[in-house]
């Protein structure tokens, strides 16, 4: 995280900093803000659920959540037109979207950065998605979920057949299978580093603007806060979209023409280029 150092300018720490330990487990500043973000998100989602059940009147926040959920679910059905499988995939992908956007937006609150503790002025709060461990865990959830859905759809042998092919029978496809296995690991790294890099870049931008503008920073930062809100939504949607597409890749047999209209090759190719 970042904080100011007199006469030396802002200091930037790439990794989350440990504040204290519980039972030997280090608790970092990203854990604190991440926990707060989860509490706020769960509360908002329960509010939206109460509105959907008719227990509470709707407000702007619940309407926005409902509208977003419906739009995301519609997107899932466009990528996976099979209604049954779309209903199975949607909860994972949509939950990841709301988690990422909530944690991203929590990271631009005024309490992030200025509040420090200890003689080394360690920031008390750090965005959860600015911790590479967190983004790597999110990417791991996506890749593991893709494999689980693929196992359910094609069975163990069918899914493993995507990667391991007898080189004596089909040496070309055997090589393609190895490339596909390598691609799974590249997707994992691409997802984690993409989100981490964008959050870190946003932090650097805000702290540098605040440092350069000094006393007028409360006014100078306003346009950049709005920009970060927009970028947070875009990054959450990209992560959501990649999750849906990666899962959909495992819901189609290689060379099965019956699934060509269900899984758009052009869309897969576009998203693959993103990672």
pLDDT 10s digits, 11-22: 567 788 888 888
- Provide the pLDDT for residue 161: 78
The proportion of the chain whose per-residue pLDDT surpasses 70, expressed as a percent, equals: 87
Q: State how far the Cα of 126 lies from the Cα of 136, in Å rounded to an integer.
A: 17
Candidate from 52-56, 143-147, 197-201, 213-217 with smallest mean pLDDT:
213-217
Instruction: Rank 4-13, 49-58, 188-197, 238-247 by mean pLDDT and report only the highest.
Output: 238-247
Does residue 1 register a pLDDT over 60? Answer: no
Does residue 162 register a pLDDT over 70? Answer: yes
- Provide the pLDDT for residue 3: 41
Does residue 8 register a pLDDT over 70? Answer: no
Does residue 163 register a pLDDT over 60? Answer: yes
């Amino acid at each position: 995280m970042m904080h100011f150092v007199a006469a030396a300018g802002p200091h930037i720490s790439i990794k989350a900093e440990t504040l204290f330990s519980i039972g030997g487990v280090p608790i970092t500043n990203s854990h604190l803000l991440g926990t707060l973000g989860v509490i706020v998100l769960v509360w908002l989602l329960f509010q939206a659920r109460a509105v959907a059940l008719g227990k509470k009147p709707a407000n702007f926040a619940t309407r926005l959540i409902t509208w977003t959920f419906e739009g995301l679910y519609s997107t899932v059905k466009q990528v996976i037109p099979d209604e049954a499988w779309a209903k199975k995939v949607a909860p994972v992908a949509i939950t990841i979207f709301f988690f990422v956007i909530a944690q991203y937006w929590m990271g631009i609150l005024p309490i992030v950065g200025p509040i420090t503790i200890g003689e080394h002025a360690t920031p008390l709060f750090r965005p959860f998605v600015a911790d590479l461990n967190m983004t790597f865990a999110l990417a791991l959830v996506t890749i593991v979920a893709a494999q689980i859905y693929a196992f359910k759809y094609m069975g163990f042998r069918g899914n493993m057949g995507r990667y391991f092919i007898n080189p004596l029978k089909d040496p070309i496809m055997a090589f393609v299978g190895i490339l596909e296995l390598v691609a799974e690991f590249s997707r994992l790294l691409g997802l984690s580093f993409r989100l981490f890099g964008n959050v870190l870049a946003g932090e650097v931008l805000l702290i540098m603007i605040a440092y350069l503008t000094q006393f007028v920073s409360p006014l100078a930062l306003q346009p950049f806060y709005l920009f970060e809100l927009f970028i947070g939504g875009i990054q959450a949607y990209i992560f959501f979209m990649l999750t849906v597409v990666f899962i959909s890749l495992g819901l189609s047999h290689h060379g099965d023409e019956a699934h060509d209209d269900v899984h758009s090759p052009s869309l897969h190719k576009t998203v693959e280029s993103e990672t």
